[in-house]
Amino acid sequence: MFMEPPTLIAACNLQSNESVADFGAGSGFFARAVAKQVPHGNVFAVEINRDIVARLTREVAEMHTTNIHPLWGDIEVVGGSKLGAASMDMVIISNTLFHLEDKDGCMREVKRVLKPEGRLLILDWTESFGGMGPRPQAVVNKEAASALANRFGFTVINDKLPGGEHHYAILFRNTVV
């Protein structure tokens, strides 16, 4: 099994009216799955590549999906996501940590946008798989991702989520305001 966003998202117990940010949303793979779980909520697909944001904006309009909001933003900068402070119930960082130059900057932005007691889902590659996934030296393993989140006041809720055979998935709670 590779990765099945609907299965993983269902395990996160989202409420139908929650607001979720998908940091480093890319093509909207997770944003689409989340949008189905929060039909009365909103999903903000934050991506730094303007061409991808434009494509996702077109696709969302063509699908008549009204609760996905593609946004251009820099998740490594405080305020860079363009989202309000303490406005999100959950932030998802999927297959993105290994791309980031400033992981601490990203965690500061996650912390800023999450509500107190909000949740953070980190999903990333367990290792490099010869042409699939990140370069070996860029992999952010499960232990490093946990340590990063812990430094910013997140505590593990569940570190055994179904990430697929090449990924880990950890759900955290924002515990320090």
Question: Quick one: pLDDT at residue 61?
Answer: 95
Q: Where are the beta strands (DSSP E) in the chain?
A: 19-23, 42-47, 68-72, 88-94, 114-125, 154-158, 167-174
- pLDDT (average), residues 82-109: 91
Q: Give the global pTM.
A: 0.91
CATH of segment(s) 5-174: 3.40.50.150
Pairing status of strand 19-23 against strand 88-94: parallel
Closest CA to 73 of 90, 58, 56: 56
For the chain, what are the domain ranges?
A: 5-174
pLDDT at 149 over 80: yes
Mean pLDDT of the chain: 89
Which residues, 6+ apart, have CB-to-CB distance to 87 below 8 Å? Answer: 19, 113, 115
pLDDT at 177 over 70: no
pLDDT at 1 over 50: no
Q: What is the rounded distance in angstroms from the CA atom of residue 87 to the CA atom of residue 100?
A: 23
